[in-house]
């Protein structure tokens, strides 16, 4: 299979991560998983454990909360890579006081690195712009930045899937 950049986007609990795992396994059994969640409380730690259960134990897991382009460039042998997920990554950057301009620069670096490496890259993210307009400034800023990041990633990806109720709908195929 020719290497590709695949973007999977959908709502919370839409089946994005399970679909990404299945897709990565289809591409190759040699998979690296880049986890962006830095769990801060018990409930989030449980979510991370549940996510780990759906991944084969032999996969290499890389925990990277900020510099995803560098994490990608360090991957040398995997034929398939999953980044899960961009929404947590942007949240991490915003908590470190990154401005939108810097976040967009980092998103572009991710795509440059994904094109350089000899692996298919599957990028997972949660759609946050389909709901109501948030009432507080930081939530609106997050939603707006995520929308712009998603546009950048989708535009530069070979394939884009929208997950709805566990069903992948291919919305872009280069």
Pairing relationship of beta strands 167-173 and 159-164 according to DSSP bridges: antiparallel
List all residues 6 or more positions away from 20 whose beta carbon is below 8 Å from its beta carbon: 8, 82, 84, 122, 124
In whole angstroms, give the CA distance from residue 123 to residue 10: 12
Query: What is the DSSP code string of 41-100?
Result: SHHHHHHHHHHHHTS-TTSEEEE-SS-HHHHHHT--S-SEEEEE-HHHHHHHHHHTT--H
SS3 state of residue 119: coil
Q: Which positions are catalytic?
A: 51
């Amino acid at each position: 299979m020719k290497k590709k950049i695949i973007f999977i986007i959908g709502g919370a609990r839409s089946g994005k991560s399970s679909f990404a795992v299945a897709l990565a396994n289809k591409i190759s059994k040699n998979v690296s998983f880049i986890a962006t969640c830095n769990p801060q409380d018990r409930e989030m730690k449980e979510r991370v454990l549940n996510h780990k259960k759906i991944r084969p134990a032999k996969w290499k897991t890389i925990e990277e909360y900020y510099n995803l382009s560098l994490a990608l460039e360090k991957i040398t042998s995997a034929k398939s890579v999953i980044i899960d997920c961009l929404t947590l990554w942007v949240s991490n950057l915003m908590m470190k006081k990154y401005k939108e301009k810097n976040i967009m620069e980092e998103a572009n670096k991710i795509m440059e690195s994904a094109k350089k490496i000899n692996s298919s890259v599957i990028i997972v993210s949660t759609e946050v712009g389909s709901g109501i307009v948030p009432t507080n400034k930081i939530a609106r800023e997050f939603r707006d930045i995520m929308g712009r990041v998603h546009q950048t990633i989708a535009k530069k990806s070979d394939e884009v899937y929208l997950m709805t109720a566990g069903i992948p709908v291919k919305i872009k195929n280069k």
